[in-house]
Amino acid sequence: METVDIIWIITKAVIVAVALLSFSNLAVLAERKVSSWIQGRVGPNRTSIPLIGSIPVIGTAMTRLGLFQPVADGLKLLLKEDPVPDHVNKFYFFLAPVAAMMPAVTTIAVLPFGQIISDGVVVPIVLADLDIGILFIFAVSSLGVYGMILAGWASNSKYPFLGGIRSSAQMISYELSMGLSILPIFMWANAPGADSGLNLFSVVQHQQGVWGVIFMPGSALLFLVSIFAETNRLPFDMAESESELVAGFNTEYGSFKFGLFFAAEYAHIIVGSGVFTALFLGGWHPLPFLSADLLPDGLLGAAFSIGIFLFKVCCMVFFFIWIRWTLPRFRYDQIMKLGWTMMLPLAIVNLVVYAIIFAFIDG
């Protein structure tokens, strides 16, 4: 591989990573604005940057929309005092926020977010088009829980420790359901004549005729609930549980390290929404039930495909926020009961039903 190719690969990786972190900051703003709308409040509408905010129309609109708020939040987390308690295990205490963020930044490498058509050949827009892309995502994303476990253990405090234990139990309880829920979609994508393997781009291309959520609503629902549990979002935020554990695993954290945990949560939500979009919402295909690809060739089609994919991801992120500010938190025993006595049996039944259906169709 030539030096130019290596530089281009690194450049693309940096662009995608920066884009993910930027969307994470915007997701924090969306969380605050959507929650304020749901609760009948205004939300962030005062923070302004002097030079830009002084522009009569544009600056005022950006201020009222709260677009400068992520800048203020980021500077606050970077510049505020960062006290470290004496009783913590410092090495693992500092390692935990990085361990929480890295899986999200890594898994985005194999997630296709568009396509470009050149001379009739469809090429995926992705950093690494792996044939085992979904296995890579599952393997790496499951490591994110180690950041919470490390944070809870290294804090040497009872509330963070309980939060870390809860996060590990919740991850084990719902990863089985998540893995079983997507098997039918790959059985469908690997029907005779399709042979998509475990490649996410091939699965998206297989949904040109009908989206996965339409053909397999049960799998989509099981996978969606599992994503909520894996990302520790309400009503599954057992790792934090402010009313019970103060702030759970990140009770002892502040400043930049707390910001990393905060950004990691939204980065995982964005990546999870992207995976759900690729598996069940047709990826960058604009409409279901259309066998022909409507996207034009060249860079214009690539821009349209990325825009459509990002629009669906944004809709999913809005759904995550909506659910958080609508449903109350489950009790710990309710989450365990839901995972083992409902989600897992339903995932097994769902897999068996679709296996019978495909065997009947192929036969």
Q: What is the pLDDT of residues 126-163, one digit of tens each?
A: 888 888 888 899 888 888 788 888 888 888 888 888 88
Residue 53: per-residue pLDDT: 63
Contacts of 324 (CB under 8 A, 6+ apart): 31, 35, 233, 234
Q: Model pTM?
A: 0.90
Residues 362 and 301: their CA atoms lie apart, in Å, by 35
Residues 248 and 263: their CA atoms lie apart, in Å, by 16
Of the pLDDT bands very low, low, confident and very high (cuts 50, 70, 90), residue 192 is low
Between 160-169, 213-222, 346-355, the lowest mean confidence (pLDDT) is in 160-169
Instruction: Kindly state the average pLDDT of the residues 21-28.
Output: 88
Residues 271 and 20: their CA atoms lie apart, in Å, by 9
Instruction: Kindly state the average pLDDT of the residues 195-219.
Output: 85
Q: Tokens 């044939």 map to which residue?
A: 131
| Residue 54 pLDDT > 70 | no
Instruction: Kindly state the average pLDDT of the residues 82-91.
Output: 82
Residue 293: per-residue pLDDT: 61
| Residue 27 pLDDT > 70 | yes
Of the pLDDT bands very low, low, confident and very high (cuts 50, 70, 90), residue 67 is confident
Residue 297: per-residue pLDDT: 76
As a residue count, the chain comes to: 363
Phi and psi, residue 354, nearest 5°: -70, -30
Q: Tokens 């792996």 map to which residue?
A: 130
| Residue 16 pLDDT > 90 | no
CB–CB of 209/291 below 8 Å? yes
Average pLDDT of every residue of the chain:
84
pLDDT, tens digit, 9 for 90 and up, residues 314-328:
999 999 999 988 888
Residue 150 host element (H or E):
helix 144-154
